Amino acid sequence: MPAKRKSDSARYSYDGLDRVLHEKARLGLMTCLAGSPDGLTFGELKSLCNLTDGNLNRHLKQLAEAGLVSTRRDETGSRPQTICALTDSGRGRFLQYLAELQRVIGDAQKQMKTNAARSKGRLATE
């Protein structure tokens, strides 16, 4: 096996994939909130992400503890509601996370194209 070039060291470690965000439910919550600058109600998030009350509470708590999401009570309507929104910090971290995710996808596509070309070349020479 050929020695790796220094520039290839840890090339695919993807340290920017934030563990707090890199979970299916939290990724869905962040995506919903990213498109809703005024925030969404607890019920809207529950429906959009297909989560139970308990699951939604747990994930919102983790996101809030990380400073990514804020929650507030809105008592202006006929029923009080919890409104959830991205914090400025959360919006920035989510954009960084998405950029890293795009890098992962790009690297995977390049690798697959390279492997397909190699396979095609092998078949042509056999």
- Domain boundaries in the chain? 17-125
Confidence of residue 124 (pLDDT cuts 50, 70, 90): low
Residue 53 CA to residue 43 CA, distance in Å, equals 9
How confident is the prediction for the chain on average, in pLDDT? 89
Separation of alpha carbons 44 and 81, rounded Å: 11
CB 100 within 8 A of CB 86: no
Report helix angle 53-65 to 24-34, nearest 10.
Answer: 70
pLDDT surpassing 80 at residue 76: yes
Q: What is the pLDDT of residue 104?
A: 95
Classify burial at 28, counting beta carbons within 10 Å of its beta carbon; exposed 0-12, middle 13-18, buried 19 or more. middle
Are 29 and 69 within 8 A, CB to CB?
A: yes
Q: Can you tell me the mean pLDDT for 45-62?
A: 97
pLDDT digits (tens, 9 = 90+) for 28-45: 999 999 999 999 999 999
The CATH fold of domain 17-125: Arc Repressor Mutant, subunit A (1.10.10)
pTM, to two decimals: 0.80
Q: Which of 74, 86, 92 is nearest to 39 (CA)?
A: 86
